[in-house]
Structure 1
Amino acid sequence: MNGDWLIRGRDGRLSVYLPAGDTVLCRAELGADGRWEPPRRVGGEQKLRPGPAFGQGADSYAHLAAWRPTKPGESGLVHTTHFRPRLAALDWASIGHPDGTGDRTGSPAVTVDAQGRAHVFVRNRAGGMSMRGQKQVGGWGPWRDLKGRDVAERPAAVVGESGRVELYAAVPGAVLHWRQEEPGSVPVLEEALETPVRADTLYALATSAEHTTLFYADEADGLWAWRPGSEPVRLLTSAGPGPLRALRCRLDGHDCTLLARRSAAGRVAFAAYPTEQESAGAWWTESGPPLPEDALVALALDEGGRVVAATLSPSDGRLLVTRRKDEPGLALEAWREV
């Protein structure tokens, strides 16, 4: 999965998106007492290929993109919007293929600009990056070739506080950065950072009115933070394998960035530091039970602004959730299965 699969909806309730064979399921909170509804299929009966992507706009609507089989040896991308977690999502709608026709070319990424327009990014057959975005008046614009070469499987898309869309993608020995020059425009390739990046570790977060920050791991297991226009900063040693997640939150009255990933010991490791102040340092603290090797980690804020963490194991569908306690620091409640 690519993107944030744990979100807070427009009604304030949390929901999770779970891949299940050839479909995506959604589960939503029924209330603050820990009850969740049973899984429901998203987007109708359309069969999907593995690896859906998730994004959410300022209006709290969730946007999903995924590949679907079209005919033997070929696939196309589809998109759906989920307006409220406890309502049915729209049916999957085709948005085509970046090369017109062909098979799956890479994992999609989706993000949503300040006007609520979804932007879907995916690697094309030539190894560059392509994008298709929704129009303000409805429908979709054409596929755009954003250039680049040898881009990796999974890009990281984000919308800054300015409302403009940005994209990061790994290439051998470097990270590429695209950014919209103005809202609604096609993102342009602005900068390439030479760095020994691990392509499966990128995660981008809006961290101020001026900047987004990219987090990534290198081949020596260092975890780095990079804001385009500046030099990357080594934060700490990676806690373990698997995708990284980051969240801005308030801890004891301070604007902080919280990081989470599965540790080498199999538990969830957390680290926090003042946002955009990497020099303050950070360290990992582990929590929860040991998890399967394929377990994913997600972070969100609930209706009351409390940090919520979730883990999901695609192999067995087991979902665990915890919340921050109402006390100083990052003390968490006991993890529970839902």
Structure 2
Amino acid sequence: MNGDWLLRGRDGRLTVYLPSDDAVLCRAELADGGPWEAPRRLGGDQKVLMRPAIGQGANGYAHLVAWRPTGSGQAGLVHSTHFRPRLAALDWKPVGHPDGKGERTGTPAVAVDVWGRAQVFVRNGSGGVSLLGQREKGGWDAWRELGGEGVQEQLTAVAGRSGRVVEVYASVLGGLLHWRREKPGTQPVRSPDAEAAVRPGTLYALATSEEHTTLFFTDADGTVCAWRPGQGDPVPLLPAAGPGPVSAVRCDIEGTDCTVLAQRTENGRVAFAAYPTEQESAGAWWTESGPPLPADATVSLALDEHDEPVAATVSPSTGTFLLSRRKDEPGLALRAWQEI
């Protein structure tokens, strides 16, 4: 999934969004710390393709966007809003195609601004990036083409700490692209590109201060790097633990604002690292946790009702859903993984 699929809802309960053959399933905590409800289908009976993109606003509402089949070789994007973990989500509603019509063009990315409006970004048929934004009083604006050329499949979008600024990142052969939208209804502005040999499918963005978001990615040499547009070139952080993207969250560790990273390792376990936020020069190192997981397992991080980090893994092939929470002790020690 593109975005965090483990979320803390408006009522403080955790929710996971799980991929299925032609649907999105969700599960929510029934109480703080569990137990969890059984999986239920999200968005009605409409079939969707691949995995959805997920974004969450300051109000706790989750916005999901996915492709659906619309005919022979044709696809269109659909959107759903999930207001509270234990309530049913809205049915999928069509929101169009960046080229008007055609086949699936790329994995969408979603960011939600402070006003609760989803901003949907997706690669278009020309190899650039297109934007679809929600209106203030409902409905959607027209598609906007932002530019770019040779954009790779995966994008990542994020709202800044204030929620007013929305940013999207993309990778191309030999570089990174970035757009920043300062105000609602305005055209996102493209920043100067950054040179980087990006491993496709490894982009992840996080709001790390009032002024900046940080993009994490793995380069061709297998190093996790961090980039904040306007603050120079990407910087190496630590060797990648495994092939996929990291998940990241900010939290307080012993009075220090830290960024916690998680990534599935080459041997299938989950590795964690933490460092003072935006201080990559301090260094970071991985600590592995949990049992070996199937090759298709993914990991996501969130904060629970007590602002403590919690990690989840899910494997579509086996349906296994595991969860681990921070121990009540100094440092970033985690409890044993629990199968939900």
- TM-score over 0.5 for the alignment? yes
For the pair 1:277 / 2:279, whether they are aligned, the reply is yes
Q: Deviations over 1:90-130 (max 9, x none)?
A: 01000000000101000011110111100111110000000
Q: 2:82·2:90 contact (CA, 8 Å) conserved in 1?
A: yes
Moved over 4 A (4+): none
Q: Match for residue 291 of structure 2? A: 289
> Helix, strand or coil: the match of 2:327?
coil
For the pair 1:315 / 2:321, whether they are aligned, the reply is no
> Helix, strand or coil: the match of 1:200?
coil
- The residue type paired with residue 47 of structure 2 is K
Q: Deviations over 1:264-307 (max 9, x none)?
A: 12110000000001111100000001111111000000001111
Provide the rounded CA distance (Å) in 1 between the counterparts of 2:187 and 2:43.
28
Q: Deviations over 1:2-30 (max 9, x none)?
A: 10000000010000000110000000001
Q: Match for residue 185 of structure 1? A: 186
- The residue type paired with residue 144 of structure 2 is R
For the pair 1:98 / 2:98, whether they are aligned, the reply is yes
Q: CA deviation at 1:186?
A: 2.2
- The residue type paired with residue 153 of structure 2 is E
Q: How high is the sequence identity, in percent, across the aligned residues?
A: 65
For the pair 1:131 / 2:145, whether they are aligned, the reply is no
> Helix, strand or coil: the match of 2:32?
coil
Q: 2:300·2:313 contact (CA, 8 Å) conserved in 1?
A: yes
- The residue type paired with residue 116 of structure 1 is G
Q: Match for residue 55 of structure 1? A: 55
Structure 1 residues 4-83: aligned runs within 5 Å: 4-83=4-83
Q: Match for residue 241 of structure 1? A: 243
Q: 1:28·1:36 contact (CA, 8 Å) conserved in 2?
A: yes
Q: 2:195·2:233 contact (CA, 8 Å) conserved in 1?
A: no
Provide the rounded CA distance (Å) in 2 between the counterparts of 1:258 and 1:321.
16
Provide the rounded CA distance (Å) in 2 between the counterparts of 1:181 and 1:140.
19
Q: CA deviation at 1:33?
A: 4.4
Q: Deviations over 1:20-76 (max 9, x none)?
A: 100000000011343100001000001000121100000000000000001111000
Q: Match for residue 207 of structure 1? A: 208
Q: Deviations over 1:182-224 (max 9, x none)?
A: 2332212122101111121000000011110000111110110
Task: Calculate the aligned-residue CA RMSD, in Å.
Answer: 0.8
Q: Match for residue 222 of structure 1? A: 223
Q: Match for residue 154 of structure 2? A: 154
Q: Match for residue 165 of structure 2? A: 164
- Report the TM-score when normalising by structure 1: 0.99
Q: 2:217·2:245 contact (CA, 8 Å) conserved in 1?
A: no
Consecutive unaligned residues in structure 1, runs of 5 or more: none
Consecutive unaligned residues in structure 2, runs of 5 or more: none
Q: 1:178·1:191 contact (CA, 8 Å) conserved in 2?
A: no
Q: 2:51·2:66 contact (CA, 8 Å) conserved in 1?
A: yes
- The residue type paired with residue 183 of structure 1 is P
Q: CA deviation at 1:233?
A: 1.2
